[in-house]
A and B are shown apart, each in its own frame.
Chain A
Amino acid sequence: SQKIEQNSEALNIQEGKTATLTCNYTNYSPAYLQWYRQDPGRGPVFLLLIRENEKEKRKERLKVTFDTTLKQSLFHITASQPADSATYLCALVEDTGGFKTIFGAGTRLFVKA
């Protein structure tokens, strides 16, 4: 069966440390993968997109890796801040004639001051 899995448990880290979030998928062949941030009671906000032929993408303090062999993406936030506390969603996009986006359930990140 098809699955997209993110750490279901919340991730608690100290301010200044690097947060690493994991996204694993099974029985999908994504054309690309996206990461979103979602705050409570709000819609997701797009952060980064990485294509199947890309290994790594960076944007300011954010870094995403994509390993199609392991079927895994890692999302890193360096020098984390309390304002980074939110739920982070992994979304993979398949080209099935049209592009379809499938979301993971998200990982809740808490950054303590």
Chain B
Amino acid sequence: GAVVSQHPSWVICKSGTSVKIECRSLDFQATTMFWYRQFPKQSLMLMATSNEGSKATYEQGVEKDKFLINHASLTLSTLTVTSAHPEDSSFYICSAKFLGETQYFGPGTRLLVL
């Protein structure tokens, strides 16, 4: 149980375009979803926390107008990287939590902006 999926698993786009990443909890309803970014050989950095039906809470230094998060239902959250630039290239990982303390992570989405 506790499976989280992400789509797409990888994406290549041109600079200036927007990219949407989906995160779904497949077999449970997630009260909270998280979005992380991970650069090579570095730790996961929390970008934002989202609860269904409310606005996401962004971490310091993360531009909310650039990284749009929508948590429309208890099983789906989306992250849209608007006007992507090469420095946004990274590994984006979502996680979901249903009561309790454990976060269940998706497999990640690798974004490459050319």
- Of A41, A45, A98, the residue contacting B49 (CB under 8 A) is A98
Q: Give A10-68 interface residues, CB cut-off 8 Å to B.
A: 32, 34, 36, 41-46, 49
* Complex Cα–Cα for A4 and B91 (A): 21
Interface residues on A, range: 20 to 34
Range of interface residues on chain B?
A: 20 to 34
Q: Are A49 and B41 in contact (CB under 8 A)?
A: no
Closest to A108 in B: B41
Residues facing A in B96-110 (CB within 8 A) are: 101-108, 110
Q: Are B108 and A49 in contact (CB under 8 A)?
A: no
User: How many A-B pairs with Cβ below 8 Å?
Assistant: 46
B42 CB-CB contact with A under 8 Å: yes
Are B42 and A105 interface neighbours, CB within 8 A? yes
In the complex the two chains form, is B102's CB within 8 Å of A89's CB?
no
B43 touches A104 (CB 8 A): yes
Chain B CB within 8 A of A101 CB: yes
Tell me which residues across on chain A come within 8 A of B112, comparing CB atoms: none
* B19 CB-CB contact with A under 8 Å: no
B105 and A43 within 8 A (CB): yes
Across the interface, do B43 and A106 meet the contact criterion of CB distance under 8 Å?
A: yes
Instruction: Give the CA-CA distance A100 to B93 in the complex, in Å.
Output: 16
CB of B44 within 8 Å of the partner chain: yes
Contact of B110 among A36, A41, A102 (CB under 8 A): A41
B95 within 8 A of A: yes
The 10 closest A-B pairs by CB, nearest first: A43-B105, A105-B43, A103-B43, A103-B44, A43-B108, A43-B93, A44-B105, A43-B107, A43-B106, A46-B102
Q: Which residues of B contact A (CB under 8 A)?
A: 4, 6, 34, 41-46, 49, 91, 93, 95, 101-108, 110
